Structure 1
């Protein structure tokens, strides 16, 4: 009878540790703020606000009259009229246009050569300079707008010259390029919302970070690990209970983030860009499935790193440095666009990133890709947990000094 009771106690040890850690951390405002507020809600809200502000600003620039200093406007009155018709308001000439553009006193400056009238009468090519600074991203819309107006006027005048000489305008353009864009409206949204995978990963990380610190380095600093380890319970069950608590907070954090994006998704001005973005239940369920093994991996990794720290502050420093790791796949894909191969889905973090990108494009995830993603990340999670379990066997883990 005593043997049965002992086994029952050991069997319930996991659940006891899990419930204890969850209840204690539900009373910790710092953990709740990080796991259920800062990451899950603040991230999506900031994302939507930034996207809306950026897009509305670009749309206003494209629709409002554009003030552009013009040097030599008296040499090409017809070109100036064409610019005015396109919404450009010519401004007085400035002495040093290159310096003005570099100092951002002007987004773009048009300079017309003094020999413009003479060359135009002779039917010779004339040059119109559009002076700008390509390193200033804020000026891209203005530069594109002015360039298209000048080029459009040039094509129109060129066609009129050919007609005056009895030639068809098509003579100057023997080849017509017809672009056939195969991207769907949803696929075009990937170009702008490609950072979403990072938001999901960072939410998982932040959801369990403070809990992982408190359950290892925090208890070590408070010297509460030693009495916990003194109980007649296998160390791996204690670790399993702590990891389950971390995973629970991370999963709740991820669910809140997915729900937040589903709610605020319709408020994104994607229709103005001819895009379509579906962040509803189907998208959220697939993302949660993709991220589930990553929850285990990050929980084990955070516990492993925090176990090497002797104080809460030291563990916080270590995990802050570890925070760089989730950003690597997104940075890699933005700098070096690659064609996804099957084996890449088995690489933790990279596989989740590629999977979410396919969901954003509306392509769906093939069963083989999903299997590779789940199996690869789960294998890495098991290895990490085994290493952490081995560390938990050491008596030095309970010593804070």
Structure 2
């Protein structure tokens, strides 16, 4: 009905204008050509009102259904009217393809609800429509504890509390902040979501809120269970999220210390998006607590990565060759005699406190100015400076001396 009113009004206006141009050509060729320009058309109407009044009246009649249709559209779907008035429909931008398979039918607060973003993180299931900071429309369900595996939940209006709390919010074009409503009980909810690799849940979703909230949703729903994104089966490190940064740091520590036993503590607060992060990271590595200052950078091509990361990939479990074990007469005794990996607890403070323990071991020194020196640790001089020697083959030996203030980080390269 709204579309018919708007189109009908536009048709009457255009018909009246065409009729007016034909009348101008009937008056004279000069007036006809000039009436194609709006100022001349207005002059023609003023000079030949008796001839042009019927065409003007027809165009004026077209504004009546046009205004009525736009008013009804503003009441029913203000965002659509705003898009029409702002001429966004003339743009050549292609709509963003949805990453999730969401096929929901229904409305939120009496308006059609078409979410493209859905996640179940920290026990909160959220569906969002809109890419801005404040969602155009959003539905949140506080499930409670983050589920592991499948999620099945059925709630009826008369069920005894406690029940998952539901919150709906919406943002109108003329508002700066969204309106929100919380519904603790009195609704119908059915969830049956099954795990989908690598980090999704998918299944049936059905929700009916009390009539005064004008919200019903039903259909197929797919949600993310964390804030990692995958590309070709691998984690997309270019995606901005705390989970992505934590994944990059955990992978770096596993490769740096050559062990998969890395438990990362909660990361310090930081804001995204960003190009560079300086973080003091705490992790338990093979049972030992380590505190490391790390600097991460982000590029569009490589995504997030730790600076000075040149460590090889961690060997896959069971990938080591057994040929050496067949030739070894006493593999168990050799494993027992293997020295402890000193890299696990190594730091600049340990080096200064007991330099003899690391004598002639391979090290890499990073200075505060960004330069790097690699070689064998030769001890400390009388002034407490760190000495590094590097064998240049036939060219001799290069020696490096660093004061403590010049050193940003020291990395032990050997066990």
TM-score, structure 1 as length reference: 0.22
Higher RCO by CA contacts (8 Å cutoff, separation 6 or greater):
1
- Bigger share in helix: 1
- Bigger share in strand: 2
Return the index of the structure with the highest Cα Rg: 2
